[in-house]
Structure 1
């Protein structure tokens, strides 16, 4: 019984500590500029971020920010009675135009430095 309790406590500790390490949207937004500058994350023509080079937080950053972008794109599409794909394409065009030289963009299926 004691081993079960010890194992249960260990499992709960691991689960709880993992949730403390999870990144939230605010942290992802704060980490995004450094991830882009490091070449880990880039902009895509579909309006979403992509992982250029996996890094410590690249996947979490892209996942969280893309979820927020999709929600905003959907809101705009609904509000303006246009297709989600059109909003995504417009956002992607703007994001690529605003990407500074030296950072990555995805064009024609491949990553390139702008």
Structure 2
């Protein structure tokens, strides 16, 4: 077996095994409320979730949801002829405003309970 074939097989194994560990977007959405209430995830001014304290699958939940958010922000920006950063900022402001008391938001680069 050549080096290229061995490398390809190793990559396929790695990609296949990591996909088994990844959450689907639906699973991430289901896990989000508990992760926020546990203080693991919080809303950031840039419109994306941030990891407040790592644990469980918080980082993967944030990754999945942030990818979906970015896709939606890009769609909104394009359809309204505005910049992605403007959409992200507006979404971040709204998410922070809607965050319930006791959950985390990012203020001036630091995490605080609302």
User: Under a length normalisation based on structure 1, what TM-score does the superposition of the two structures give?
Assistant: 0.84
Q: Which residue is 1:4 aligned to?
A: none
| 1:19 shift after superposition | 3.0
The unaligned stretches of length 5 or more in structure 2 are 1-8
Listed one character per residue, the Cα deviations across residues 58-78 of structure 1 (whole Å, up to 9, x for unaligned) are: 110111100000000000000
Q: Which residue is 1:44 aligned to?
A: 44
| 1:81 shift after superposition | 0.1
Listed one character per residue, the Cα deviations across residues 7-26 of structure 1 (whole Å, up to 9, x for unaligned) are: x9xxx5x8755533321111
Q: In the superposition, relative to structure 1, how do residues 15 and 63 fare at CA in structure 2: closer, same or farther (>3 Å)? A: closer
Q: In the superposition, relative to structure 1, how do residues 88 and 16 fare at CA in structure 2: closer, same or farther (>3 Å)? A: closer
Q: Which residue is 1:67 aligned to?
A: 67
The unaligned stretches of length 5 or more in structure 1 are 1-7
Q: Which residue is 2:90 aligned to?
A: 90
Radius of gyration: which is bigger?
1
Residues in 2 aligned to 1:68 and 1:96: alpha-carbon distance in whole angstroms: 18
User: Under a length normalisation based on structure 2, what TM-score does the superposition of the two structures give?
Assistant: 0.84
